[in-house]
């Protein structure tokens, strides 16, 4: 059984982490590269960014490998505006199952933790940019 001090310390840590993540969101500090996500980090990443694009992929998937450089470039271009993440579906079956990922690559688009769209399949950079610009216009 945990002591009251342990519980209070855990609560303080959680509030501090939430405050830091909110500050990052408010400062528009979306990174310039995709962040590797896991089942345990997925929800916090999606919630802590105004707009988040999460690439659900696998190492054996040819179209996923083809999309990787495009997503790296987009993450750099949209630094400070859109956060990009990568979730390996083979290594993170819980999240993959929860979102019903049946085909890859699948891009999950979040606004403040709420799933707003999904893009299934490999697309040219210009089509993805058009979609991202629409999200920025609508959710900024």
What is the CATH number for 98? Answer: 3.40.30.10
Q: Is residue 123 part of a domain?
A: yes
Residue 139: the pLDDT is 87
Provide the pLDDT for residue 42.
Answer: 97
Domain range spanning residue 120?
30-139
Cα–chain center distance at 48: 9
Instruction: Report yes or no on 131 lying in a domain.
Output: yes
Catalytic one of 21, 58, 61, 65: 61
Q: Does residue 87 contact residue 57 with C-beta atoms inside 8 Å?
A: yes
Residue 96 lies in a domain: yes
CA distances (Å), origin 111, targets 9, 36, 80: 30, 19, 14
Question: How many Cα atoms within 13 Å fall on the side-chain side of residue 89?
Answer: 22
Q: Which helix (H) or strand (E) holds 115?
A: strand 114-120
* Residue at 12 is within a domain: no
What pLDDT, on a 0 to 100 scale, did the predictor assign at position 131?
Answer: 95
Cα dist. 77→2, 49, 116 in Å? 46, 16, 21
Annotated catalytic, 56?
no
Q: Which of 51, 54, 64, 74 is catalytic?
A: 64
127, part of any domain: yes
At 22 the pLDDT is 59
Residues in the chain predicted with pLDDT less than 50, given as ranges, are: 24-27
Tell me the C-alpha distance between 20 and 91, whole Å: 28
Query: Has residue 128 been placed in a domain?
Result: yes
Q: How many distinct structural domains can be found in the chain?
A: 1
């Amino acid at each position: 059984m945990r002591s009251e001090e342990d519980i209070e310390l855990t609560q303080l840590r959680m509030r501090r982490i939430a405050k830091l993540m909110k500050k990052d969101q408010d400062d528009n500090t979306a990174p310039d590269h995709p962040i590797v996500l896991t089942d345990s980090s997925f929800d916090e990443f999606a919630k802590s960014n105004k707009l988040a694009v999460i690439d659900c992929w696998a190492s054996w998937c040819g179209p996923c490998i083809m999309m990787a450089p495009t997503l790296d470039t987009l993450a750099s271009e949209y630094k400070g505006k859109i956060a990009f993440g990568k979730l390996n579906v083979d290594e993170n079956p819980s999240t993959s199952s929860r979102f019903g990922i049946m085909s890859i690559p699948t891009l999950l688009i979040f606004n403040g933790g709420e799933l707003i769209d999904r893009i299934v399949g490999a697309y040219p950079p210009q089509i993805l940019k058009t979609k991202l610009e629409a999200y920025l216009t609508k959710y900024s």
